[in-house]
Structure 1
Amino acid sequence: MKITLARIDDRLIHGQVTTVWSKVANAQRIIICNDDVFNDEVRRTLLRQAAPPGIKVNVVNIEKAVAVYHNPQYKDETVFYLFTRPQDALAMVKKGVQIETLNIGGMAWQPGKKQLTKTVSLDQSDINAFRELDKLGIHLDLRVVASDPSMNILEKIEELSIAE
């Protein structure tokens, strides 16, 4: 399997993903990797309906995403992974999924999270996952839209001193 783009965006498929990121990825398939989304039948259905023209969308749990990645039947498939949180990307990388760069675009504010940028809010668990991904050699690319300059999320975290 060839990963053309891996992105964290908790809105998953929306205007920017449909019009810009799917073109940047130039993949045959978008795979949404998250257990909660997989277990929500209504959300799964809506996400498949929101697919950009000509691109297949699958919503899978982390276990299935890893199994499909390692299945030789899909070795020539090009995919765009979408995650809602860094912990899911980390779980997949730890199970042998070769993600080189992880784009971080949107993580909404919730109670207990601190705002890092206009579109990204983090709690300590998110920060820890990003640090571990960095240690595993994953390039962490903080960009909302493709034309934004790339920033390293860990440098931004340190700059704003939001980590504990």
Structure 2
Amino acid sequence: MIIKFARIDDRLIHGQVATVWAKLANAQRIIVVSKEVFNDKIRKVLVKQAAPAGMKVNVVDVPKAIAVFNNPKYQNDTVFYLFTNPTEVLELVKGGIPLKSINIGGLSYAEGKKQITKAVSVTPEDVQAFKELDKLGVNLDLRVLADDPKKDILKLIS
């Protein structure tokens, strides 16, 4: 597989993702990597329905994402990975997927999370995952909108 773009956005496919990020990614397929969504039949259907016209969408968990990435049948497919959290991004990278950069777009606030920007709130587990991703050489690109200036998430979480 040819990774064109990867983004963390717990809203998954919504207006910005469907109209802007998917177009910028210029990929044949969106792969939503989320154990939670994979195991929720209704949410899985809704995510697929929200996709841009003509865009293939698959919802998988991390082990399936790794298996599909390594399947020669898909070696020339272009993909836009979409995640709900950084922990699953880290699992994917540790599983051998050569992710060079991850765009951090939206992690909604909930009890137990610390708000670091208007659109991004993190748990202690998220903070640890972002630090590990950085150590593994993954570029952390915090931008909600495509034309936003990039913010340094490591400074914001420390």
Please classify the TM superposition score into its range, dividing by the shorter chain length.
over 0.9
Partner of 1:145: 145
Corresponding residue SS for 1:43: helix
Give CA deviations for 1:61-93 in whole Å, capped at 9, x if unaligned: 111001001111111000000000000000000
Q: CA deviation at 1:156?
A: 2.1
Q: Distance in 1 between matches of 2:152 and 2:18?
A: 24
Letter in 1 for 2:55: I
Unaligned runs of 5+ in 1: 159-164
Q: Distance in 2 between matches of 1:103 and 1:155?
A: 16
Q: Distance in 2 between matches of 1:38 and 1:114?
A: 26
- Structure 1 runs, 4 residues or longer, greater than 4 Å off: none
Write out aligned runs for 1:82-93 (5 A): 82-93=82-93
Partner of 1:50: 50
* Amino-acid identity (%): 58
Give CA deviations for 1:37-58 in whole Å, capped at 9, x if unaligned: 0000000001111110111000
Q: Count matched residues.
A: 158
TM-score by length of 1: 0.95
Q: Distance in 2 between matches of 1:58 and 1:22?
A: 14
Letter in 2 for 1:151: K
Partner of 1:67: 67
Q: Distance in 1 between matches of 2:155 and 2:100?
A: 18
Corresponding residue SS for 1:151: coil
Corresponding residue SS for 1:67: helix
Letter in 1 for 2:75: K
Unaligned runs of 5+ in 2: none
Write out aligned runs for 1:1-164 (5 A): 1-158=1-158
TM-score by length of 2: 0.98
Q: Distance in 2 between matches of 1:44 and 1:91?
A: 21
Q: Distance in 1 between matches of 2:43 and 2:150?
A: 30
Q: Distance in 1 between matches of 2:27 and 2:55?
A: 7
Give CA deviations for 1:109-159 in whole Å, capped at 9, x if unaligned: 11100100000001111000000000000000000011011122112223x
Q: Distance in 2 between matches of 1:79 and 1:58?
A: 10
Please provide the CA RMSD for this pair.
0.6
